[in-house]
Amino acid sequence: MTETSYINPFSSEAKKIVSKLGNINNLNKPDTTLKSIIEMTRNQELKKELPETIKQLALKKYEWALNRKLKDYDHRKYQYLFNPELYEYDVVSFYLLCQIIAMEYGSDSYEANEVLQMQHDLITQRLEKIAVDTPELLSVILNELTDTSNLYWYDIKEILQIGNIEFNKLLLVNGRIIIEYDDFYEQFADKIEGRRPHDIYQIVAGNFIKIRLITSYITYYMKEYMKNVDEMSKKQVEPNPLMKQAAEEIRKIQVKTDEIKYKNQPKGSFSDDKPTPYNPEAFPPCVKECIKGIKSGGRNDAIVLFLTPFASYARLYPGIFSQKKQVKITDVDPSLNITHDQVIPLIYDAAQSCRPPLFKDQPQEKININAKLGFGMHDELKREYEGETHWYTPMSCDKIKLHMPHICKPNKDCVKIGNPLTYYNRMRKIKQKGGQ
Amino acid sequence: MEIELKPATYRERTLYYKEEWDVNDIPDFILNSLYSREFGFDHIGQGPNDRYKTFTDPLRLKRFMKAKKPFAAYTSVAYYDKPEKRHGWEKAEFVFDVDAKDIPIRTCECKPGEVCDKCLKQAKEIVLNIGDILKSDIGFKNLNYVYSGRGYHLRVLDEHAMDMNSEMRGEIIQYVLGGKVPDMEDAKKLRYNKFNSYTLSFAYYQNFKNWMNYTIQHLKKDTPVDIDEKLLKDTIKYKDELPDHWGFFTQDIGPIRYKKLQEQIARTNLAIADTKVSIDLKRILRLPSTLHSKVSMKSMLIKNIETFDPFDKAVPKFVYERK
C-alpha cells in the first residue's frame, strides 16, 4: 500500500516521519535501509553512484531536476525516486532540499524555481502511476488537503494562481468546483446524452482534476515553506555547515549539467545570452503588427508594455527565458550604445507610426519606456538610473490576447508558442539553418 | 421622438448639472466608499487629465460637480488607503465593459465610433449573457449593471472578486467570454481521439458553445473579424445548423477548418468586452449619474436590466428641449 506521504510531504504522517528521521546529525550518515530500498527498486540501474544518505538523496533530486532535460537522460538512473517504499526518506530529503535552496539561494531564486518544478513533475509522475494502480488513493490524498465536496474556486485563489490548472477546466456550479463523481452525476447527468456519464466524467474531470489539484496544493505549500525558511534564515546567525556544503554541491551539479548541455553544441550556434542583431523576418506577427503602427486606443500598451520589452530583449538578451536569471541592460550592453542606437529607434519608429503618433499627444510615454527598460522614471536613459525599475520581460501570448487582442493575429507557427520572444528565437534558428 | 446622439453643448452641460443631476443618484456602492476612491475629470473633452481628486463626503463632490460641470467624470474601481496619491491599493471592483461601438460582431449599419438603438440592444444582450455566467458558474452575487452612455458596465462587488489579481481576472474573463477553445488533450490521453467538446453541454464547454454560436449567428460577410474569406462565407452559409446540429456544422465546414474557426471565434469573443478594463486594477470608470457629453446620455445605475431602455431612462431633459 502506497503511503500518502509519498505524495504529500505536508501530511500529518509526513510530519511524524520528519520528527523520527529528521535529526540533522543523521542526514549525512549512510543508511542501510535507504541503500537497500534503492538497490531493490525495480529497473534501477546499479552501475552509477547511488545515494546512501538523506543528504545525497536530496542532492540527487536536484540532479534529476536538471538532468531530465538533457538529451541523453537515462531514467533508469533515477528509478528509485518512483519507488513508494522510499516515502520516509523522500519526505525528509524534501525538507532538507527546500531548506538548502531557501537558505543558501533564496526563495525567489532560479534554483528555487527548479526545485518547485522538479517536485511538481515528480509527484505528477507518481500520481499518474497511482491513478492507474490505485485510483481511490487520489481521493484520499486530495481529501487530506481539502474537502473535495465543498470546494469553491475563490477559497483557493492562491492555489489556482500556481498555474497548474486552467480555470476553464474547472467544472463550476455557483462557484463550487465539481470534483467527485457523485457530485458530477448529480449536477450534469441529465445533460449527457448517448454516452455513459462515468466516461464523460473521466474525460473532463476524474483523475486529471485530482492530480492537478494535488500538485497545485503541494507546490503552493512548498513555495510558502521556502519563503518562511528564507525569512527565518535571514535572522539566523550561523547556518549549519551541512547546508553550506550541500549548497556548494548543488552549484557543482549545475556546472556539470551545463558542461554536458553545451558540450555537443555545434560551433557558431546561437549565443542567446548576449546581444544579437535583429532579424526582422523572424519577428512574430504581433510584433510586425505593432511596428506597422497602432490606431488610437491601444497605442500606449502596445508600444510601452509590449514592444519595449520585446525589442530590448530580442536585441540584447534573446535567451532570457532559457537562462532564467535576472539581468540588467548594462550587463549585456555596458556602454548602452546598442540600446541608444538600435533598440530605442525601433521603439520610437513604431511609436511614430501610430495614428496619431504616440509621442505627439503623450510625450510622457518616453519616460515610461525608460522605466520598462529598468532605468526608472527619467527623461534620459542613463547608467546611474539603472535598477530604479525592473527590465520588464516580454508579455506572454495569453496576456497579449487580453491586453491588446487587436495585435494578436497568429499564423500557423504561433501554435503552441507561449511568448513572442520564443517565437522569434525559434524562427531565427530555423532561418539560420536555411529553413523556410 | 427620435433621439439624436450628438454632443452636448456647454450650455446643455450647465443645465444638466444645475437642474437635473443629483448627488444621490450616484450608486450607494460608490457613495459608501467615497473616501477610498480616486476621481478623475475631463473638463474640455480631451480625456480625463484632472486625476488624483478625492472627496471625503458627498457634499464636497456635489459642490465640485455643480461648479465645474465637467465634460466627463470618472471614479476608480480601486479602493486605496491614500486615493489622492493612488497609494495603498486595497481592492478593486471586477468590471466588464461592453461598449456598443466596439462590438466586433455588431449587425447594425452604424459608422465606426457611432452607436444606435440596435447595437445598444446588442450590448445589453451581451452584458446579460456575461451576468448569467458570472452568477451560474462563477458564483458571484453582487452584480451591478450600469448604463455608460454608449454601452454597459457590469461591476462585480463580491469581496472575493475584489481582491483578485490581474492574472486571476484574466482567467475568469477567458471563461466568461468563451475566449479559449476547450482543450481536449485529456480525452486524447484516454484514447478518445475524436472526442469533440461540442458534445458536452455543461460548465465551460456549454459556455464556449453558446458564445461560439452567438458570434457565428452575428457574422456578416463584411464583419471585421480575422477569419479568412472562404471560411467566413461557409460559416455564414451553414450557420442555421447551429445551435442544434454541431455535428453537421462541423462536417460541412470540415474538421480541420472547424478547428481553425474555433480559434478565430475564441479571439473574436475576447474582443466583445474591453478586456483591458477588466484586468486593470487601477482603472477609472465613468461615474454613474453623470453626463456622457459626447452623446448627451446619462450614465446610470440600472435597477432592472431586463426592462431597461436607455432611450426611455437615460436621456437628459435638455435633449427633449432641443429644437
How many CB atoms neighbour CB A198 within 10 A? 14
Q: Under an 8 A CB cutoff, do A152 and B168 touch? A: no
φ, ψ for residue A379 (rounded to 5)?
-65, -35
CB within 8 Å of chain A, chain B residues 293-312: none
Mutate to test the interface with A, among B167, B205, B275 (most CBs of A within 10 A): B167
Count residue pairs from A and B with Cβ separation < 8 A: 101
Closest CA to B120 of B99, B139, B137: B99
State the residue range of the domain holding A240: 4-146+208-250
In this complex, the residue of B168, B182, B186 whose CB is nearest that of residue A161 is B168
CA distance B176 to chain A (A): 9
| Whether A245 and A278 share a structural domain | no
Q: Under an 8 A CB cutoff, do B203 and A188 touch? A: yes
| Whether A222 and A337 share a structural domain | no
B179 shares contact with chain A (CB less than 8 Å): yes
In a domain, A161, yes or no: no
Q: Under an 8 A CB cutoff, do B201 and A410 touch? A: no
* Cell numbers given for B305: 436590466
| Whether A343 and A421 share a structural domain | yes
| Whether A399 and A290 share a structural domain | yes
**Number of C-alpha atoms within 13 angstroms, CB side, residue B218?**
24
Interatomic CA distance for residues B105 and A224, integer angstroms? 45
Known binder of ligand: residue A290?
A: no
Residue A238 DSSP class? S
Interatomic CA distance for residues B298 and B171, integer angstroms? 32
> In A, which residues are within 8 Å of B200 by CB distance?
200, 204
How does pLDDT run across A265-311, given as a tens digit for each residue?
555 445 677 888 898 889 999 999 898 888 766 788 899 999 999 99
> In B, which residues are within 8 Å of A152 by CB distance?
139
CA distance B20 to chain A (A): 32
CATH topology of domain B1-165+281-314: DNA primase, PRIM domain (3.90.920)
* Cell numbers given for B100: 456598443
Say if strands B78-82 and B94-99 run parallel, antiparallel, or are unpaired. Answer: unpaired
**Number of C-alpha atoms within 13 angstroms, CB side, residue B310?**
31
Closest CA to A68 of A6, A121, A110: A121
Query: In sequence order, what are the residues at sequence separation of 6 or more whose Cβ sits closer than 8 angstroms to the Cβ of residue B225?
Result: B104, B105, B219, B232, B264, B268
- pLDDT tens digit at each of 323 positions of chain B: 677 888 999 999 999 999 999 999 999 999 999 999 999 999 988 889 899 999 999 999 999 999 999 999 999 999 999 999 999 999 999 999 999 999 999 989 988 888 999 999 999 999 999 999 999 999 999 999 999 999 999 999 999 999 999 889 999 999 999 999 999 999 999 999 889 999 999 999 999 999 999 999 999 988 888 888 999 999 999 999 999 999 999 999 999 999 999 999 999 999 999 998 999 999 999 999 999 999 999 999 999 999 999 999 999 999 998 86
Query: In sequence order, what are the residues at sequence separation of 6 or more whose Cβ sits closer than 8 angstroms to the Cβ of residue A337?
Result: none
| Whether A9 and A124 share a structural domain | yes
In this complex, the residue of A191, A399, A409 whose CB is nearest that of residue B202 is A191
In a domain, A410, yes or no: yes
Interatomic CA distance for residues A9 and A215, integer angstroms? 11
Residue A396 DSSP class? P
Closest CA to B126 of B294, B298, B313, B271: B271
Per DSSP, the residues of A21-54 read H--GGGTTS--HHHHHHHHTSTT---SS----SH
Which chain A residue is nearest to residue B276, measuring alpha carbons?
A403
| Whether A246 and A295 share a structural domain | no
φ, ψ for residue A291 (rounded to 5)?
-65, -30
CA distance B61 to chain A (A): 29
| Whether A292 and A241 share a structural domain | no
| Whether A122 and A221 share a structural domain | yes
The CATH number given to B178-272 is 1.10.8.160
B2 shares contact with chain A (CB less than 8 Å): no
Q: Do A164 and A117 touch, CB atoms closer than 8 A? A: no
Q: Under an 8 A CB cutoff, do B171 and A191 touch? A: no
> In A, which residues are within 8 Å of B187 by CB distance?
203
Catalytic residues of B: 97, 99, 274
Query: In sequence order, what are the residues at sequence separation of 6 or more whose Cβ sits closer than 8 angstroms to the Cβ of residue B97?
Result: B148, B151, B152, B153, B273, B274, B277, B278, B285
CB within 8 Å of chain A, chain B residues 249-278: 263, 267, 270-271, 275-276, 278
Domain boundaries of chain B, sorted by first residue: 1-165+281-314, 178-272
Mutate to test the interface with B, among A132, A156, A168 (most CBs of B within 10 A): A168
CB within 8 Å of chain A, chain B residues 181-240: 182-183, 186-187, 189-190, 192, 195, 199-206, 208, 226
Q: Do A328 and A355 touch, CB atoms closer than 8 A? A: no
| Whether A219 and A357 share a structural domain | no
Q: Under an 8 A CB cutoff, do A175 and B171 touch? A: no
- pLDDT tens digit at each of 436 positions of chain A: 789 999 999 999 999 999 988 888 889 999 999 999 999 999 888 877 899 999 999 999 999 998 888 888 889 999 999 999 999 999 999 999 999 999 988 888 888 988 999 999 999 999 999 999 999 999 999 999 999 999 999 999 999 988 789 999 999 999 999 999 999 999 999 999 989 999 999 999 999 999 999 999 999 999 999 999 999 988 876 778 888 899 999 999 988 887 877 666 555 445 677 888 898 889 999 999 898 888 766 788 899 999 999 999 999 999 888 766 678 898 888 889 899 989 999 999 899 888 888 887 777 888 889 999 999 888 888 888 888 888 899 999 888 888 888 888 888 888 878 899 999 998 888 887 765 4
First to last CA, chain B: 12
User: How many domains, in total, are found in chain A?
Assistant: 2
List residues bridging with B147 in a β-sheet.
Answer: B152, B300
Mutate to test the interface with B, among A204, A207, A360 (most CBs of B within 10 A): A204
pLDDT of residue A436: 46
In a domain, A374, yes or no: yes
* Cell numbers given for A432: 539560420
B174 shares contact with chain A (CB less than 8 Å): yes
Which chain A residue is nearest to residue B198, measuring alpha carbons?
A192
How buried is B192 (Cβ within 10 angstroms: 0-12 exposed, 13-18 middle, 19+ buried)?
A: middle
> In A, which residues are within 8 Å of B279 by CB distance?
402-403
> In A, which residues are within 8 Å of B182 by CB distance?
168
Known binder of ligand: residue A397?
A: yes
Q: Under an 8 A CB cutoff, do B204 and A406 touch? A: no
How buried is A421 (Cβ within 10 angstroms: 0-12 exposed, 13-18 middle, 19+ buried)?
A: buried
In a domain, A186, yes or no: no
Q: Under an 8 A CB cutoff, do A174 and B136 touch? A: yes
Give Cα B201 to chain centroid, integer Å. 26
Question: Reduced to 3 states, what is the DSSP secondary structure of residue B291?
Answer: strand
CB within 8 Å of chain A, chain B residues 78-137: 135-137
Distances, alpha carbon A398 to alpha carbons A91, A200, B289, B296, in Å: 36, 28, 36, 37
| Whether A132 and A279 share a structural domain | no
Which chain B residue is nearest to residue A166, measuring alpha carbons?
B171
φ, ψ for residue A66 (rounded to 5)?
-85, -40
Q: What single-letter amino acid sits at A199?
A: D
In a domain, A360, yes or no: yes
> In B, which residues are within 8 Å of A157 by CB distance?
160, 163-164, 168
Q: Do A423 and A417 touch, CB atoms closer than 8 A? A: yes
Q: Under an 8 A CB cutoff, do B140 and A175 touch? A: yes
CA distance B134 to chain A (A): 8
Q: Do B98 and B130 touch, CB atoms closer than 8 A? A: yes
**Number of C-alpha atoms within 13 angstroms, CB side, residue A366?**
15
Element (H, E) at B39: strand B39-42
Question: Reduced to 3 states, what is the DSSP secondary structure of residue A244?
Answer: helix
| Whether A385 and A236 share a structural domain | no
In a domain, A339, yes or no: yes
CATH number, residue A89:
1.20.930
